[in-house]
Protein backbone atom coordinates (compact mmCIF):
# COMPACT_ATOMS: atom_id res chain seq x y z
CA UNK A 1 0.00 0.00 0.00
CA UNK A 2 2.88 2.33 0.81
CA UNK A 3 4.30 1.73 -2.66
CA UNK A 4 0.94 2.63 -4.15
CA UNK A 5 0.97 6.06 -2.51
CA UNK A 6 4.53 6.60 -3.76
CA UNK A 7 3.33 5.71 -7.26
CA UNK A 8 0.42 8.14 -6.91
CA UNK A 9 2.82 10.99 -6.31
CA UNK A 10 4.91 9.94 -9.32
CA UNK A 11 2.12 9.21 -11.81
CA UNK A 12 -0.43 11.86 -10.83
CA UNK A 13 1.05 14.76 -12.90
CA UNK A 14 1.32 12.59 -16.02
CA UNK A 15 -2.22 11.29 -15.73
CA UNK A 16 -3.51 14.82 -15.13
CA UNK A 17 -2.24 15.69 -18.61
CA UNK A 18 -4.39 12.84 -19.87
CA UNK A 19 -7.38 14.18 -17.95
CA UNK A 20 -6.99 17.49 -19.78
CA UNK A 21 -7.29 15.79 -23.16
CA UNK A 22 -10.12 13.58 -21.93
CA UNK A 23 -12.09 16.70 -20.99
CA UNK A 24 -11.23 18.40 -24.29
CA UNK A 25 -12.49 15.42 -26.29
CA UNK A 26 -15.62 15.08 -24.15
CA UNK A 27 -16.58 18.76 -24.21
CA UNK A 28 -15.76 19.23 -27.90
CA UNK A 29 -17.68 16.15 -29.00
CA UNK A 30 -20.58 17.05 -26.68
CA UNK A 31 -21.00 20.45 -28.35
CA UNK A 32 -20.76 18.96 -31.84
CA UNK A 33 -23.12 16.07 -31.09
CA UNK A 34 -25.67 18.41 -29.52
CA UNK A 35 -25.75 20.74 -32.53
CA UNK A 36 -25.84 17.93 -35.09
CA UNK A 37 -28.31 15.91 -33.04
CA UNK A 38 -30.72 18.85 -32.86
CA UNK A 39 -30.45 19.31 -36.63
CA UNK A 40 -31.21 15.62 -37.30
CA UNK A 41 -34.10 15.68 -34.81
CA UNK A 42 -35.68 18.76 -36.39
CA UNK A 43 -35.35 17.12 -39.80
CA UNK A 44 -37.09 14.01 -38.45
CA UNK A 45 -40.07 15.96 -37.08
CA UNK A 46 -40.24 18.52 -39.90
CA UNK A 47 -43.04 16.72 -41.69
CA UNK A 48 -41.03 16.92 -44.93
CA UNK A 49 -40.69 13.32 -46.11
CA UNK A 50 -37.33 13.58 -47.88
CA UNK A 51 -35.71 15.53 -45.03
CA UNK A 52 -36.97 12.99 -42.50
CA UNK A 53 -35.72 10.13 -44.68
CA UNK A 54 -32.22 11.64 -45.00
CA UNK A 55 -31.97 12.12 -41.24
CA UNK A 56 -33.29 8.64 -40.46
CA UNK A 57 -30.85 7.07 -42.94
CA UNK A 58 -27.90 8.94 -41.47
CA UNK A 59 -28.87 8.04 -37.90
CA UNK A 60 -29.23 4.35 -38.73
CA UNK A 61 -25.90 4.24 -40.56
CA UNK A 62 -24.02 5.98 -37.73
CA UNK A 63 -25.61 3.80 -35.04
CA UNK A 64 -24.72 0.70 -37.04
CA UNK A 65 -20.98 1.43 -37.24
CA UNK A 66 -18.78 1.04 -34.12
CA UNK A 67 -17.32 4.29 -32.81
CA UNK A 68 -13.80 2.90 -33.12
CA UNK A 69 -14.27 2.22 -36.85
CA UNK A 70 -15.59 5.76 -37.34
CA UNK A 71 -12.53 7.17 -35.59
CA UNK A 72 -10.20 5.06 -37.75
CA UNK A 73 -12.00 6.18 -40.90
CA UNK A 74 -11.78 9.88 -40.04
CA UNK A 75 -8.14 9.74 -38.92
CA UNK A 76 -6.65 7.22 -41.36
CA UNK A 77 -8.91 7.23 -44.44
CA UNK A 78 -9.87 10.91 -44.91
CA UNK A 79 -6.23 11.93 -45.54
CA UNK A 80 -6.45 9.86 -48.74
CA UNK A 81 -9.09 12.36 -49.88
CA UNK A 82 -6.93 15.34 -48.90
CA UNK A 83 -8.55 15.90 -45.49
CA UNK A 84 -5.91 15.64 -42.78
CA UNK A 85 -6.88 16.17 -39.17
CA UNK A 86 -4.91 16.06 -35.95
CA UNK A 87 -5.64 13.16 -33.63
CA UNK A 88 -7.49 15.48 -31.25
CA UNK A 89 -9.62 16.96 -34.04
CA UNK A 90 -10.42 13.50 -35.39
CA UNK A 91 -11.35 12.29 -31.92
CA UNK A 92 -13.72 15.19 -31.30
CA UNK A 93 -15.33 14.97 -34.74
CA UNK A 94 -15.59 11.18 -34.65
CA UNK A 95 -17.22 11.03 -31.24
CA UNK A 96 -19.35 14.07 -32.03
CA UNK A 97 -20.77 12.50 -35.18
CA UNK A 98 -21.23 9.11 -33.53
CA UNK A 99 -23.13 10.53 -30.58
CA UNK A 100 -25.17 12.94 -32.69
CA UNK A 101 -27.28 9.95 -33.71
CA UNK A 102 -28.13 9.19 -30.08
CA UNK A 103 -28.68 12.86 -29.31
CA UNK A 104 -31.07 13.08 -32.27
CA UNK A 105 -33.24 10.26 -30.96
CA UNK A 106 -33.29 11.84 -27.50
CA UNK A 107 -34.27 15.25 -28.90
CA UNK A 108 -36.90 13.73 -31.18
CA UNK A 109 -38.46 11.84 -28.27
CA UNK A 110 -38.58 15.07 -26.25
CA UNK A 111 -40.20 17.03 -29.07
CA UNK A 112 -42.77 14.33 -29.80
CA UNK A 113 -43.69 14.14 -26.10
CA UNK A 114 -45.23 17.62 -26.36
CA UNK A 115 -48.89 17.66 -27.36
CA UNK A 116 -49.13 18.29 -31.10
CA UNK A 117 -52.09 20.57 -30.42
CA UNK A 118 -49.65 23.18 -29.15
CA UNK A 119 -47.86 23.18 -32.49
CA UNK A 120 -51.15 23.55 -34.33
CA UNK A 121 -52.21 26.40 -32.03
CA UNK A 122 -48.92 28.25 -32.53
CA UNK A 123 -49.11 27.86 -36.31
CA UNK A 124 -52.74 29.02 -36.32
CA UNK A 125 -51.79 32.36 -34.74
CA UNK A 126 -49.18 33.04 -37.39
CA UNK A 127 -45.99 31.61 -35.90
CA UNK A 128 -43.70 29.96 -38.39
CA UNK A 129 -42.50 26.39 -37.87
CA UNK A 130 -39.04 27.41 -36.63
CA UNK A 131 -40.47 30.03 -34.28
CA UNK A 132 -42.94 27.47 -32.93
CA UNK A 133 -40.10 25.06 -32.22
CA UNK A 134 -37.92 27.74 -30.64
CA UNK A 135 -40.55 29.47 -28.49
CA UNK A 136 -43.15 26.81 -27.75
CA UNK A 137 -41.96 23.22 -28.21
CA UNK A 138 -38.24 23.12 -27.37
CA UNK A 139 -38.51 24.99 -24.03
CA UNK A 140 -41.03 22.38 -22.86
CA UNK A 141 -39.14 19.46 -24.39
CA UNK A 142 -36.06 20.33 -22.32
CA UNK A 143 -37.64 18.71 -19.25
CA UNK A 144 -37.97 15.42 -21.11
CA UNK A 145 -34.57 15.68 -22.77
CA UNK A 146 -32.34 16.64 -19.82
CA UNK A 147 -32.15 13.36 -17.83
CA UNK A 148 -31.13 11.16 -20.80
CA UNK A 149 -28.89 14.00 -22.02
CA UNK A 150 -27.01 13.73 -18.75
CA UNK A 151 -26.61 9.98 -19.28
CA UNK A 152 -25.20 10.65 -22.74
CA UNK A 153 -22.57 12.98 -21.24
CA UNK A 154 -21.45 10.20 -18.87
CA UNK A 155 -21.25 7.74 -21.77
CA UNK A 156 -19.26 10.22 -23.85
CA UNK A 157 -16.81 10.79 -21.01
CA UNK A 158 -16.13 7.06 -20.82
CA UNK A 159 -16.08 6.56 -24.59
CA UNK A 160 -13.50 9.34 -24.94
CA UNK A 161 -11.05 6.56 -24.02
CA UNK A 162 -11.56 5.17 -27.53
CA UNK A 163 -9.71 8.20 -28.91
CA UNK A 164 -6.55 6.59 -27.52
CA UNK A 165 -6.72 4.23 -30.50
CA UNK A 166 -5.84 7.15 -32.80
CA UNK A 167 -3.07 8.41 -30.48
CA UNK A 168 -4.99 11.12 -28.61
CA UNK A 169 -2.97 11.43 -25.40
CA UNK A 170 -6.01 11.23 -23.14
CA UNK A 171 -6.23 9.45 -19.80
CA UNK A 172 -6.35 5.87 -21.07
CA UNK A 173 -3.41 6.27 -23.43
CA UNK A 174 -1.34 8.00 -20.77
CA UNK A 175 -2.11 5.08 -18.49
CA UNK A 176 -1.07 2.57 -21.14
CA UNK A 177 2.21 4.41 -21.71
CA UNK A 178 2.95 4.55 -17.98
CA UNK A 179 2.07 0.89 -17.45
CA UNK A 180 4.25 -0.29 -20.34
CA UNK A 181 7.23 1.80 -19.21
CA UNK A 182 7.04 1.10 -15.46
CA UNK A 183 5.33 -2.34 -15.40
CA UNK A 184 3.28 -1.10 -12.45
CA UNK A 185 -0.03 -2.14 -13.94
CA UNK A 186 -1.96 -2.29 -10.66
CA UNK A 187 -0.98 1.21 -9.55
CA UNK A 188 -1.45 2.80 -12.97
CA UNK A 189 -4.82 1.31 -13.88
CA UNK A 190 -6.17 1.77 -10.35
CA UNK A 191 -5.34 5.46 -10.68
CA UNK A 192 -6.88 5.63 -14.16
CA UNK A 193 -10.06 4.01 -12.88
CA UNK A 194 -10.17 6.43 -9.94
CA UNK A 195 -9.78 9.41 -12.27
CA UNK A 196 -12.67 8.24 -14.45
CA UNK A 197 -14.77 7.61 -11.37
CA UNK A 198 -14.05 11.09 -9.99
CA UNK A 199 -15.04 12.61 -13.32
CA UNK A 200 -18.16 10.47 -13.75
CA UNK A 201 -19.61 10.50 -10.24
CA UNK A 202 -20.61 14.21 -10.17
CA UNK A 203 -22.28 13.76 -13.56
CA UNK A 204 -24.14 10.65 -12.40
CA UNK A 205 -25.33 12.44 -9.26
CA UNK A 206 -26.50 15.35 -11.41
CA UNK A 207 -28.39 12.97 -13.71
CA UNK A 208 -30.04 11.36 -10.67
CA UNK A 209 -31.06 14.82 -9.43
CA UNK A 210 -32.57 15.69 -12.82
CA UNK A 211 -34.49 12.43 -12.99
CA UNK A 212 -35.98 12.97 -9.53
CA UNK A 213 -36.79 16.62 -10.10
CA UNK A 214 -38.39 16.33 -13.51
CA UNK A 215 -39.94 12.96 -12.68
CA UNK A 216 -41.82 14.57 -9.78
CA UNK A 217 -42.95 17.51 -11.90
CA UNK A 218 -44.15 15.14 -14.58
CA UNK A 219 -46.04 13.15 -11.96
CA UNK A 220 -47.85 16.28 -10.74
Extract long-range pairs of 195-202: CB within 8 Å, 24+ residues apart. Answer: 195/15, 195/18, 195/19, 195/171, 196/157, 196/158, 196/161, 196/171, 199/19, 199/22, 199/23, 199/157, 200/154, 200/157, 200/158
User: How does pLDDT run along the chain (220 residues), one tens digit per residue?
Assistant: 557 777 777 888 889 999 999 999 999 999 999 999 999 999 999 889 999 999 999 999 999 999 999 999 999 999 999 999 999 999 999 999 999 999 999 999 999 998 888 888 888 888 888 888 888 888 888 888 888 898 899 999 999 999 999 989 899 999 999 999 988 888 899 999 999 999 999 988 888 887 777 665 554 4
pTM passes above 0.85: yes
140 to each of 35, 66, 110, 125, 163, how far by Cα in Å? 18, 33, 8, 19, 35
d(CA 56, CA 127): 27
The answer regarding whether domain 2-219 maps to CATH 1.10.3720.10 reads yes
Amino acid sequence: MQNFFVDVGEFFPVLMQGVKFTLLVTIGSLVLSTVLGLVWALMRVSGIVWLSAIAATFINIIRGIPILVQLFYIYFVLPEFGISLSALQAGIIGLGIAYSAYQAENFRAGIEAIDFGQTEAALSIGMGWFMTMRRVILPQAVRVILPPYGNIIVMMLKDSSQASAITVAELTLQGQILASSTFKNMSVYTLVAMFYLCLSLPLMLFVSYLEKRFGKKKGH
